[in-house]
Amino acid sequence: MTRGNADEAERHHRPAAQVILTVIPTRDELDAFVEGCRAQGHHDEPAVVGRLPITRFPELAMAVACGGLGKVQFGIRTQHLLDSGRWRLVVCAGAAGALVSDLSVGDVVIATETVEHDILNRFGAPRLPRFGGSAPILEHCRRALRTDPQVRVHYGPVASGDEDVVDVERRAAIHERTRALVVAWEGAGGARASQFSGVEFVEVRGVTDGADGLAAHDFARNVRRAMTSVALVVTALVRWAGDRHDETRRGAAQEKGAP
């Protein structure tokens, strides 16, 4: 191997000094998200963090990775990425089914909390773990996205559980138990890994379906539209995290130069 090739290989395997780690459950969702970022004019490049391939957006200081389907797989991969890189924020980004009637396809829900709804313990009090979204991120989003005409943004709980919700009775039961606006699978896995690592976390979901008998068909038809909306929201988060990152670096440089 030549020195140039060795340097290139090292560059692609070096832990990314990024700010935001966006973890997306499935390849279909990830591809649509990346296309949405490209449509905004952002350049991407392939890289590797630990043992996982990622897509880097250098000017956004963001890396995008596939977390896999389900809470456990998603949590394991998120933890591996957290252990292998340096991050200020983890975003769980993906599609979701609506649990309330006033949401439309392409709307985005930013989670005030991620609620794990599928722990059905029979001993002791019922367990309903809740993981709050990053307060600074939520505050920034409410300011930055208040007048954005490109996407309708809602704030509220997101239900998380390894279950396809495909009938109105189950949809109603999950909403009654969690008061969530939408339901998806993986958020609690990402939230647990982020909490363990002491990194800010937020879940962002785009609506693809009504969590009813048409959910499978509607998901396939609408995932690209939903993830394009999610990409608009996540790139707004990048501006917040990037500003925070720059402020921290300036402060450290000033301290280092102080007499």
CATH number at residue 199: 3.40.50.1580
Q: What is the pLDDT of residues 170-210, one digit of tens each?
A: 999 999 999 999 999 999 999 999 999 999 999 999 999 99
84 found inside a domain? yes
129 found inside a domain? yes
Number of domains within the chain: 1
206 found inside a domain? yes
7 found inside a domain? yes
224: containing domain: 3-245
53 found inside a domain? yes
The 8 Å CB, 24+ separation contacts for 6-13 are: 11/47, 12/46, 12/47, 12/48, 13/48
Q: Does this model's pTM top 0.95? A: no
For every residue of 202-216, DSSP letters joined together read: EEEEEEEE-SSTTHH
Q: What is the pLDDT of residues 15-57, one digit of tens each?
A: 344 689 999 999 999 999 999 999 999 999 999 999 999 999 9
- List, in order, residues 6 or more apart from 77 with CB less than 8 Å away: 23, 52, 65, 66, 67, 68
Pairing of strands 200-209, 20-24: unpaired
96 found inside a domain? yes
Which pLDDT band holds residue 105 (cuts at 50, 70, 90)?
Answer: very high
Q: What is the pLDDT of residues 219-252, one digit of tens each?
A: 999 999 999 999 999 998 887 665 554 554 444 4
Write out the E strands in 82-199: 89-98, 108-116, 130-132, 153-160, 182-184
d(CA 74, CA 87): 17
d(CA 109, CA 157): 8
257 found inside a domain? no
CA atoms within 13 A on the CB side of 145: 28
